[in-house]
Chain A
Amino acid sequence: MKDKVAVIGVGCTKFGERYERGYEELICDAAFAAYEDAGIDPSLIEAAYFGAYMPGPHGGKSAVSLADALKIYGKPITRVENYCATGTDAFRNACLAVASGVYDVVLVLGAEKLKDRGGRGLPRFGHPLLARGNTAPGLFALGATRYMHTFGCGRETLAKVAVKNHWNGARNEKAHLRQEITVEQVLKAPMIASPFGLFDCCPTTDGAAAAIVCRADMAKQWRKPPVWVKGAALAVETGRPFFDPTFDYLGFRSTVKAAQAAYAMAECGPKDISFADVHDCFTWTEISNIEDLGFYEKGQGWRAVEAGETALGGKIPINTSGGLKSFGHPIGASGVRMIYECVTQLRGECGERQVKNARLGMAHNVGGPGAVACVVILGNA
């Protein structure tokens, strides 16, 4: 995989409550932005991978929404749905399709309109009796409770993740929540699922993002300098960790496995990564992630947050985009949006948020919680 595939264009809509823009319109906005970014004629797209957790009103559980929005007909489009790793897994599949030599130019697009469904959070799927009553924050909270019990960190530390990511997001015009917040605000917010209050949780967001990947040997003919795919790996673990007597609830094995595989593909290690957009669906998840991804030892990630090492300009800047926490989390779009952040950082286009001397960037999703994780490593050289 390493250096066989390049990202030649990316696009991202404004994330937020997009009641005014339809599902297929968001798809168009993201795709056209990516076409424009690459300076490519859409007719050159040979295949597409469509990340959508709950597709829009017309498409159903298929790839049809993407085809109908963009009028890409007669070509192979595959819909990918893999919990919160949907976007990065769609990207991974597109890379595999190009690396296999079957296609030269492939579109990846993730889109989600969560707000149109009404209610709060995500609708529940699953067994009618077993694990009933679970919610996304409630499921991750089980890990946070155990982590805090084991390693002794408090809600203040979790709050600092939110404060940092809001600081980044406030400087990102496409982010959903753009206000800076304080630790005190986080701690005083209404409880959602203990230990998570409102500001420990990512918002429910609409948005779409796109990336165009192509064969490495044809990557330099487009408008912008290419960004190289160094590694992309997926790992699936149990979707019912709460029933697994061997699970310690201190982190996610899927992230550990996916990261190991991605590092091996990219022939690098955690120390080589310049910055990472990781899956901060909830504040604690980010702390767990930076340990599971190898940036910190297990149980030490919260100390790094306390020390400010994950802030922009810190030892390993995490979620310079604002993360899911501030940028928003439209499930299928999020992973592709992380690719967008990595590519724009690696091209040096991020202005105030720019990571200095960025060489290798990482995008990471984990969903389930812990059932699926996808890690993508991109580089600009």
Chain B
Amino acid sequence: MIGIARLGTYFPRRRMDRALIGNAWGGKASGTRTVAAIDEDAFTMGVEAVAACVGDSPPPDVGALYFASTSAPYLEKQIASMVATAADLPREIATADFAGSVRAGLGALRAALDGVGAGSLRAALVVAADCRLAEPGGELEPQLGDGAAAALVGRHEVVAELVTAASVSEEFTYTWRTDEQRYVQVADARFGNQYGVQHDVPDAVGAALRKAELPASKVARLAVALPDPRAAAAVARKAGLNPETQLVPSLLSDAGVLGAAEPLILLSRALEGLQPGDFVVVAGYGEGADAFVFRATHALLAHPPRPVAQALAGGIPIASYERYLRARGVLPLDVGGELVPTYIEWKELKQDTRLWGSRCTACGLVQYPQEVVCMGCHAAGKTVEHKLRREGTVFTFTIDNLAQVPEHPMPMVVAELDDGGRIYLQGTDCAEGDIAVGSRVRLTYRRLHQAGGNRNYYWKVRPA
């Protein structure tokens, strides 16, 4: 059996009431959208999604990690490898980035399923994340949302077994961004839907169902990632399904259009409450379409993905539209600070990114950063490398207004990590009162600062 063993979804904690956009530009968009924090991007959200999917210790048989996004923070630098390192996956792993359209998430999923199916991989992680930027005041701005998802693909404890996959691919200009453009561009939406989406997606869904010899009426749920819920309903009808009963509801009102991550997030939502044997179809669009038929297994009852509504809970509202613009870098902010030299990054990769400290074999004290001489018993040369837990409890903290960081107030937290080690990190995604002595925190890999023409990433804490 080949399929998806685990699914994890991640949403940034910031929420923008679409009324803020309406206040700024006019118009009456409703609901809220997720907004990546100033220290988040598609890469860091991908790291969070991996943790949501497999925890902090990914299964040892993962042989590949594929990362999909249309809004990666680098045009040239492989994000999949960066995610794999922050997730502390072994070096001996294949990685690749998928990009170019929001269909990239399904392309990565297909590559992983094919690799496991062909036997070249025992298991693979598919990570999809997007925080696409829309032109301020443009029609896309209220629609887009930020989010990420990860899927563990393999043969063991599969919760959604792959039945069939089908694709169509053909050039069509609907959504794009050239290498010189910052904001996602959209052509005539009505034309694009009618002649692009409604042409390709039903074809792919129909082909996948035919291969599976599955009548549309037997499909429990269709998860189709499209910018417009009406377009999704039209796809469902064209494929012979009832949108009222079979279509997975869109996340538009609570999160937004989630780019490359959306098909996986909708798939996770589709699996909620399914019984073993139920069929799910997931599909997405972009210069063609991909569709997959999955069948829920008995393992789904034992390992159901965390409900999407739970992942979405606990948002912090953004106070103003201007703060949103700043968070997404549209309002530029010069922050001083030095570039992390590539030499230090290389030397300290295990300490700084994989987050390994030391453990003293003489007294057992777990400590960070890595030490030659133990902090506790001062034994020399008795320390060994030790992987730190990424959760802990606040020992002490301050809420700082002075540090040279883009957003204040900023918590600085000394946390005692579960199973040992004490660490001192910036806090992020904190609402007032979230950080207190004794409160629980979770480590999150974020953008620390930007300097010297590069981005520097490191761990922070967020409320657990």
Contacts and interface: CB of A to CB of B under 8 A. Distances in A.
Contact of A146 (B367, B396, B412, B456): B396
B402 A120 contact: yes
Nearest to B404: A124
Interface in A208-263: 238, 240, 242-247, 249
Interface stretch (A24-32, A132-140, A163-171): A132-140
A142 B399 contact: no
B424 A128 contact: no
Given A142-B397, A242-B424, A243-B368, A130 B352 contact: yes
Interface string A98-134: 0000000000000000000000110010001111111
Interface stretch (A66-74, A188-196, A266-274, A321-329): A188-196
B398 A145 contact: yes
A303 interface: no
Interface in A161-203: 190-196
B13 interface: no
Contacts of B375: 238, 243-246
Interface in B281-332: none
Given A132-B448, A137-B402, A242-B414, A146 B437 contact: yes
Contacts of A131: 424
B386 interface: no
A194 B411 CA distance: 9
A283 to B, nearest CB: 14
B434 interface: no
Contacts of A134: 403, 412, 424
B400 A133 contact: yes
B416 A133 contact: no
A193 B402 contact: yes
A194 B399 contact: yes
Contacts of A120: 402
B426 to A, nearest CB: 4
B398 A138 contact: yes
Which size bracket describes the interface of B in this complex? 35 or more
A137 B409 CA distance: 14
A246 B376 contact: yes
A193 B448 CA distance: 19
A249 B414 contact: yes
B396 A245 contact: no
The A interface is mostly helix, strand or loop, or mixed, namely: loop
Contacts of B337: 128
B338 A142 contact: no
Interface stretch (B233-241, B255-263, B339-347): B339-347
Contacts of A247: 422
A144 B403 CA distance: 18
B383 to A, nearest CB: 13
Contact of B403 (A138, A142, A143, A245): A138
Nearest to B422: A245
A128 B340 contact: yes
Contact of B423 (A128, A194, A195, A243): A243
A342 interface: no
Interface string B441-464: 000000011000000101000000
A132 B396 contact: no
A21 interface: no
B412 A138 contact: yes
B398 A149 contact: no
Contacts of B414: 142, 242, 249
9 contacts: A120-B402, A129-B352, A129-B448, A129-B458, A138-B403, A191-B399, A193-B412, A245-B376, A245-B422
Given A132-B426, A141-B412, 14 more contacts: A120-B402, A133-B400, A133-B403, A135-B403, A137-B402, A138-B402, A149-B437, A193-B400, A240-B369, A243-B422, A245-B367, A245-B375, A245-B416, A245-B421
Report the 10 A-B pairs with minimum CB-CB distance, sorted nearest first: A242-B424, A141-B398, A146-B396, A194-B399, A138-B400, A133-B426, A193-B400, A129-B458, A128-B340, A193-B398
